[in-house]
Structure 1
Amino acid sequence: MRNQNQPIAVEGYPFVGLFAFVTLVVALLDWSLITVLCLAVTLFSVYFFRNPDRTVPQGEGLVVAPADGKVVFADIVREERYCKDEVLKISIFMSLLDVHVNRVPCSGKVVDQFYNKGQFFNASLDKASLENEQAGMLVETTSGRKVVVVQIAGLIARRIVTYPVIGDVLECGQRFGLIRFGSRLDVYLPKDTVSELRIGDVCVGGETVIGQLQ
C-alpha cells in the first residue's frame, strides 16, 4: 500500500517538483525577493507532505488516533449508515501545520466503503460531518466490533485520497490515505468503548490512544 516508507507522501511530489522548478527559474533570472518567496513555498510543501514514522502502541482492543490534530468533538451520537445505533464519535481537526497522512485506527478488515461529494465548510464545524465532501470505510475487527473512520474535506481541501479497498486487512496505525490542505477525521466507535479524550486534546496520528474496545 502506498506511502508506507516514503519520508514525503507521493501525492506531494507534483507540488514539491513544481515549486522547486519555479524557484530555480526565478533564481536564474536573479529575482531575489521572489526567489526567497518561492523557496519558502517549496519548503512548506515538503513540510506539509511529510510522512514521519510513528511508534504504534500495542495492546488488545486499542484504538489510535487516525490523524494529527485537535479533538473538536467527543460524545455519543447516533450513526445511521452502518451501526444504526448510538456510538462514540471522536472528531480530530487537522490544521495546515499538522501531518496530513492518515492512520488506521484499529486492526481489522475493510468490509464497506462510501464516498459523498459535498460542500467545503470549515472542517472544525460540526456540520462538516454531514455536509462536506467525505470518504469513509467500515472496519470490522477479528472480534466483530465495527469501527467507522471518515475522511472529511475542509474549507480549502479539494482531494481526499484513500488507499484500501473492500476486503483489505489493515493493521492498527498503518497509513491509509490523506487529505490535502486542512481537513478532519471522524471515528465512530462502539458506545461501550473506553475513552478519556476531551475536546481540545491534541492527538498524534498512529500513536495517541483514543479508546479501547471492550
Structure 2
Amino acid sequence: MNNNLLPIAKEGFSRIGFAILAYAIFALLDFDLLEFFSFLLILFFVFVYRNPERMVPSLEKMSVLSPVDGVLLSIEELENDEYLYKLEINSSYLNVSLLRAPFNGVLEHVDIKHGARLSQDTALSREINERVELVLEDQSKNKIKISHMLKQSFDEIKLNVISKQNLIQGSRYGLMVNGITTIYLPQNFRLNVSVGQELGASQTLIGYFS
C-alpha cells in the first residue's frame, strides 16, 4: 500500500509530464492555440489527480467511513442473508479520485474485470464496464463488499493493494476517475447517511457495525 504524500497522485505523473512536454514543444514552435490548450490540459490533470492529505476523524472502533468522494445516489434494502444494504455513490471529475480504506481490516478478496467505459445511462454499462470488486473484513469478522465501476473515463481503475493485505482506515488503496461505487453492508450495520448526501473519502461516516 503506497501512501504517496505528494500533492499530486503518482498515477497522474505520466499524463501531466506529457502535457508539460506538449506545452513546451508548442511554445517553441509558436503554436499559440495548441500551447493554450496544452496549458489547460496540464491544469485539468493536476486537478483530477490532486492528492489532499486527510485526517481520519476520531470515531468509535466499529465505524465505517466512505471509501470515495461523491454523491450518495441510492440506498436499497436487500433480501440477502449476507448483506442488508446496497449503497451507490456517484463520483465525477470534480471529486478527488483517490480510494481510501473504510475501516481497519484485511482485504479478503479482490477481483479486477477489464472492460468498456460506457456512460452509466447506457444499458450495457452495468454488464461490460471496467470494474473492481473488493471484500474487506475486520477483526470481529464484520465484512463489506465494495465494487468500483468506471463510467466514461480516460484512465483505468488503479489498485495498489493485494489480497490478504491489512488496510488502515483512511489509507489510500487506489484511484478511480469518474465512476460509480457500490457498497454492500451486512445485517448488523447501522446507517448514518441519506440519499443525496455529499460524501468525502475517509471523512464521512457511513455508519457502524453493531
Do both proteins adopt the same fold according to a TM-score greater than 0.5, normalized to the shorter chain?
yes
Give SS of 1:13's match: helix
Instruction: Report the Cα distance in structure 1 between the residues aligned to 2:65 and 2:44, rounded to whole angstroms.
Output: 27
Q: Judging changes above 3 Å, is the alpha-carbon distance between structure 1 residues 194 and 129 closer, same or farther for their aligned structure 2 residues?
A: farther
Look up the match of 2:70. Answer: 69
- Does the 8 A contact of 1:75 with 1:89 survive in 2? yes
Instruction: Report the Cα distance in structure 1 between the residues aligned to 2:27 and 2:50, rounded to whole angstroms.
Output: 25
- Does the 8 A contact of 2:4 with 2:10 survive in 1? no
Instruction: Report the Cα distance in structure 2 between the residues aligned to 1:121 and 1:199, rounded to whole angstroms.
Output: 24
- Does the 8 A contact of 2:130 with 2:150 survive in 1? yes
Contiguous gaps of at least 5 residues in structure 1 = none
Aligned pairs for 1:1-214 within 5 A:
1-58=1-58, 59-77=60-78, 85-123=82-120, 128=125, 130-180=127-177, 182-214=178-210
| Aligned residues with identical type, % of pairs | 25
Give SS of 1:194's match: strand
Which range is displaced more, 69-78 or 201-210?
69-78
Number of residues of Structure 1 aligned to a counterpart in Structure 2: 209
Q: Judging changes above 3 Å, is the alpha-carbon distance between structure 1 residues 126 and 188 closer, same or farther for their aligned structure 2 residues?
A: farther
Give SS of 1:92's match: strand
Question: What RMSD, in angstroms, separates the aligned Cα atoms of the two structures?
Answer: 2.1
Q: Judging changes above 3 Å, is the alpha-carbon distance between structure 1 residues 48 and 158 closer, same or farther for their aligned structure 2 residues?
A: closer
- Does the 8 A contact of 2:144 with 2:186 survive in 1? yes
Instruction: Report the Cα distance in structure 2 between the residues aligned to 1:204 and 1:26, rounded to whole angstroms.
Output: 38
Give SS of 1:87's match: strand
- Deviation of 1:128 after TM superposition, in Å, equals 4.9
Q: TM-score, normalised by structure 1?
A: 0.88
Instruction: Report the Cα distance in structure 2 between the residues aligned to 1:93 and 1:28, rounded to whole angstroms.
Output: 41
Q: Deviations over 1:62-113 (max 9, x none)?
A: 111111111112222356xxxx534211221111111101111111011112
- Does the 8 A contact of 2:148 with 2:182 survive in 1? yes
